[in-house]
Structure 1
Amino acid sequence: MNKIKIFLCALACITLTNCETEERFPLSKRYWDIKDYEAVVNELKFGYKSDEKLPTLDDPETRLIVEKLTDRQNFTVVLGDKELGISYKNEAAEAFFKSWRLLNSVYTELDRKDNYIYDKEMLAVYHFGLDLQLRYFELGNEEIRVNSDDPNSDEVKATTDSNVNILVKNFTNYLDYVNEEKRFSEKGQQIYAEGIKTYFTKLINRYPEADFSNVKRKVDLMLKKTKVAPIKSELSNLNELLIENMNRKKQKEVN
């Protein structure tokens, strides 16, 4: 009888815990809309005590929260919907971007040795934001062209080119973390290096005509500074990609 009571008590505790988790983080939903996302980001930013452990990828009980938080489907389900209007999608993209900027400061805590406590989660969030920005800026420029009398005018081109330059600058900020490479775990360094390859390749392929001169200068500086083999390797690969893209543009101008 006592064993039954203990079992029922334990079951009740598990059920209560699951209900509390679902209330804070709606994991049963296929994706999080912007209201869900804003609520979850606010919960992570303001709902945890300073000594309380945040959800992590290494914790089986909270891993799904981080995976859901960084699931691109949260924004692609809206931003990629061809039935929705461009203005509506831009408003959604802007809302996700604002929430991501707040979220980007959640997993940046350092330990007593000045190492990142949540490096894998921080990078997962950052990578989510890079993918989001690619779609966000693309939609913004698309709306500018749609609402313009002459989408091919010099004024429109100047505005859209300026937006692309901002996007490139935002991506370049990712390279600042080379200065903090010692703060990452070995796994974190690998994830960071993979991010250089993945996201700068996407950026250059998406906007091959953009001005990447500042990226090139940054890469040259970081190549001299990094001591981590995977990071140096991906910076070298990025440097080659930038040179190839620059040569293609020169060849195109000649022709």
Structure 2
Amino acid sequence: MHTVWKGAISFGLVHVPVKMFTAVEDKDISFRSLHKDCGMPINYAKTCRHCDKEISPDEIVKGFEYEKDKFVIVNNDELEEIKDESAKTIKILDFVDLQEIDPLYFQKAYYLSPDMAGAGAYSLLLEAIKQTGKIGIAKVSIRSKSSLAAIRVVENCICLETMHFPDEIRSLTQVPNLPSETVLVNEKELLMAKALVEQLSEQFDPTKYTDDYRIALTQLIEQKIANESTDIVAAPASEGRSNVIDLMTALQASLDATKAPTVTDAPKKKKRKPTSKAKDTAS
């Protein structure tokens, strides 16, 4: 697996060097946008509407829009200066019980493995979390984004799950048409609903659940390929390639045109006819 982040877990005076790996895999099937007439993939160029031209990466800066069409520019050096210690350290601030954390806070999961000579400290933290049943709450910065994180154990691996900060969670008061807390429901209907919940209740087994849409879409694509469907198109050769070939041809033609003529290629000199003056002398 690809290493996403390298640093250390810090709790108290213990320092645990670790490497981070993404724990989940995105299996969504992605599509490219093609030109319907020829099958060529469509490019999405970054352009400036004011200058009416394509912009290269070194011409782009970061700007925060504080008012309509008014921006504050922040450069990369300034961003580096304000990074805190969490950029290279997962600092555990507290230990809490898992059931105290609402799943709404969780974002993305990562596996952490011991790095360098950190196996002893890694095992110590792993066993401490296992035996206390607690979850570490930490701060971490991954790819320039700071977040809260939960440090927990999955089998024999320390797992980090990024979390939202409280001010990132929207208030329920913004959700329209929610029922009142004092709403009355029919008692018989409630008993039947609870009985249905109990009937469908069992131990969680994640292997039971599959992405039916992704499976059906994969089968559809494979079937089109196997049947050599008319929906299969090949993009034409890109213009860049033909330009290279044309350039090479032009260069070769230029070289050929400037070659010095060889002996065999040199034009033959015509014999000069004697003049009338020469004839008179001969006579």
Which TM-score tier does this pair reach, normalised by the shorter chain?
under 0.3
TM-score (norm 2): 0.20
Structure number having the greater strand percentage = 2
Asked which structure has the greater CA Rg, the reply is 2
Structure number having the greater helix percentage = 1
Which structure would you say has the larger RCO, counting Cα contacts within 8 Å and 6 or more residues apart?
2
